[in-house]
Amino acid sequence: MADYDFDVLVIGAGPGGYVAAIRAAQLGLKTACAESRETLGGTCLNVGCIPSKAMLHASELFEEAASGKLAKLGIKGSVTLDLETMHAQRRDAVKGLTGGIEYLFKKNKVEWLKGRAAFTGTDTVDVGGKTYRAKNIVIATGSSVTPLPGITVDNEQQIIVDSTGALELAKVPGHMVVIGGGVIGLELGSVWKRLGAKVTVVEYLDMILPGMDGEIRKESLKVFKKQGIEFKLSTKVIGATVNGSKAELTVEPSAGGDAETIEADVVLVSIGRRPNTDGLALDKAGLAVNGRGQVEIDHDFSTSVPGIWAIGDVVPGPMLAHKAEDEGIAVAENIAGLTGIVNHDIIPSVVYTMPEIAGVGLTEEQAKERLEKTGGSIKVGKFPMMANSRAKTNHEGDGMVKVIADAKTDRILGVWIIASLGGTMIAQAAQAMEFGGTSEDIAYTCHAHPTHSEALKEAAMAVQGKPIHI
Ligand code: FAD
Ligand code: NAI
């Protein structure tokens, strides 16, 4: 250790990097974390998971009151929107949580190296003009917005924005056009729809939410349409210009055809995210990125250069905070000589709209394809939220739960949920799958009544064709 400054130097303090740094320090390793942002917590805490959920929560309450839904419960009176206060509570949540990470760094003796890091060798990194040598270096630099060629994002101007700009809009747009019917488009589109904007989602594919179960995608589209969000599917944006305070978008069918123009007050570009490696001088460490700009890793998160590891959005796999966090723990444990493992087959994903859309494991399409290859087959059990007593009582009847199991072994292969509490309910499914559970295991587990989770039990019972309440 004599000529090393640190046992572990983590680059990036997002959910991957800060968790890796804390766990490494907990394991007795001398640890530093380089972060160029003013605050710790990465995309997730500063401009991602947390601020978007703060706006989703507040806008949901506003919409319930303003649309008269609360009046139906006997809660009457008019409400007005104080957008500045709504933004202030969002900033407050971010401040509290990013400050919390700073506290955790101090508590665990993780040194925060403030500034941009760049490799100068296989075990050396420059941060703010000073070079540090570390036995192990973890790349956890995350991702940023994928640009759309020909469209210039200007978050200050608040006309063509990315997700960071869409969190900060100073007024509710008359018409917001969202480019991309993925997770960000639907979450942030929902926020501004609830606050009063007309929202049109332009999606290149013929369906929203790529990667999710086909039936769940179709059902979600129905739910969003019912909420008043408009969709232009199989449509691509070929240009956007700003004229005064408006944007004019030119769109045409994805398969080619006549172009049309759409006028918008705000355009949200949300067509995906790409790994952050610019300026990192990976070549100085002897590393290169793959065709998708990602740092390739082995199952233990090691790169091709001994002592350099990578985790989170910068490596292949879903770009999710909890995946990055689990990889952060695992990589630190591997560095410390323990066995850190992440089961990448069981990573839940949640879209935090109302209702929430959640899934874990295989889609029905994937499960069918996989089992058919070996002569097997699947069984599917479904249960509508409308038949769940708690959801119905709470006027949250939209949605369903779907359990996909191996017909022969009954082992659960995937669970998909559209429900107001889907993001919370999916944890039970993930745990059952992690334990190698069967649909029968869930069906015969006693679930508290009345809870939304009983819908998962009923869907599991439906796998054997014997649900009680439908
Ligand atoms: P990041 O969080 O991106 O952190 C990387 C950090 O590294 C950044 O702070 C960056 O400044 C720093 N950095 C980069 N390069 C350098 C360098 N050279 N030197 C020093 N520092 C550097 N995921 C969920 O699971 N749930 C959600 O609800 C959710 N909501 C989201 C909402 C939005 C609007 C967005 C944009 C994303 C959301 N995500 C969500 C995705 C989630 O934010 C990411 O998957 C997660 O933050 C990835 O963590 P990470 O540690 O890999 O990288
Ligand atoms: P996304 O990959 O979820 O969706 C992008 C959508 O844009 C896709 O449907 C794609 O077909 C479409 N698209 C691509 N190019 C297009 C074009 N030219 N015109 C029209 N549509 C086009 O990406 P998104 O929403 O930007 O989010 C990025 C990532 O951030 C997500 O994949 C997810 O990993 C993470 N995230 C996670 C959240 C969560 O867990 N709740 C919330 C927000 C983001």
- Is the domain of 213 the same as that of 238? yes
The verdict on residue 470 lying in a domain is no
The domain that holds 446 is classified in CATH as: 3.30.390.30
Cβ distance 136 to 309 under 8 Å? yes
Name every protein residue with a CB atom under 6 angstroms from any ligand 2 atom.
Answer: 148, 179-185, 187, 202-205, 210, 236-237, 270-273, 318-320, 349-352
**Helix runs in 227-378, H state only:** 321-335, 364-372
The verdict on residue 432 lying in a domain is yes
- Is the domain of 137 the same as that of 176? no
Q: What is the mean pLDDT of residues 445-457?
A: 98
* Confidence (pLDDT) at 168: 98
- Is the domain of 328 the same as that of 278? yes
The verdict on residue 342 lying in a domain is no
Q: What is the mean pLDDT of residues 54-61?
A: 98
**351 alpha carbon, closest ligand:** 2
The verdict on residue 61 lying in a domain is yes
The verdict on residue 151 lying in a domain is no
Return the best residue to mutate from 145, 163, 190, 204 for the ligand 2 pocket (most ligand atoms within 8 A of CB). Answer: 204
- Is the domain of 316 the same as that of 416? no
> pTM of the predicted model, to two decimals?
0.98
Domain extent for 444: 349-463
Across all residues in the chain, what is the average pLDDT?
97
- Is the domain of 10 the same as that of 141? yes
Q: Give the model confidence (pLDDT) of 190-242 as tens digits.
A: 999 999 999 999 999 999 999 999 999 999 999 999 999 999 999 999 999 99
- Is the domain of 174 the same as that of 248? yes
What one-letter code names the amino acid at 100?
Answer: G
Distance from C-alpha of 103 to C-alpha of 109, rounded to nearest angstrom: 10
Torsional sign, CA 316, 319, 323, 327: positive
The verdict on residue 1 lying in a domain is no
- Is the domain of 121 the same as that of 171? no
- Is the domain of 15 the same as that of 110? yes
Name every protein residue with a CB atom under 6 angstroms from any ligand 1 atom.
Answer: 11-17, 34-37, 42-44, 48-49, 52, 116-117, 140-143, 163, 184, 276, 279-280, 312-313, 319-322, 324, 352
- Is the domain of 134 the same as that of 169? no
Number of domains in the chain: 3
CA distances for 255 relative to 178, 206, 233, angstroms: 20, 11, 11
Q: Which atom of ligand 1 is nearest to the CA of 49?
A: 30
Q: Hey, which residues are catalytic here?
A: 449
The domain that holds 174 is classified in CATH as: 3.50.50.60
Q: Which atom of ligand 1 is nearest to the CA of 37?
A: 11
* Confidence (pLDDT) at 243: 94
- Is the domain of 10 the same as that of 81? yes
Distance from C-alpha of 376 to C-alpha of 368, rounded to nearest angstrom: 8
- Is the domain of 51 the same as that of 176? no
Give residue 349 CA to ligand 2 midpoint distance, Å.
Answer: 13
| Final residue belonging to a domain, choices 216, 244, 271 | 271
The verdict on residue 131 lying in a domain is yes
- Is the domain of 141 the same as that of 290? yes
Distance from C-alpha of 75 to C-alpha of 57, rounded to nearest angstrom: 19
Q: What is the mean pLDDT of residues 396-421?
A: 98
Give residue 44 CA to ligand 1 midpoint distance, Å.
Answer: 5
Q: Which helix (H) or strand (E) holds 383?
A: strand 378-384
Confidence band (pLDDT; 50, 70, 90) for 2? low
pLDDT at 1 over 90: no
| Final residue belonging to a domain, choices 254, 271, 288 | 271
Confidence band (pLDDT; 50, 70, 90) for 82? very high
Q: Residue of the nearest CA to atom 45 in ligand 1? A: 320
| Final residue belonging to a domain, choices 335, 369, 385 | 335
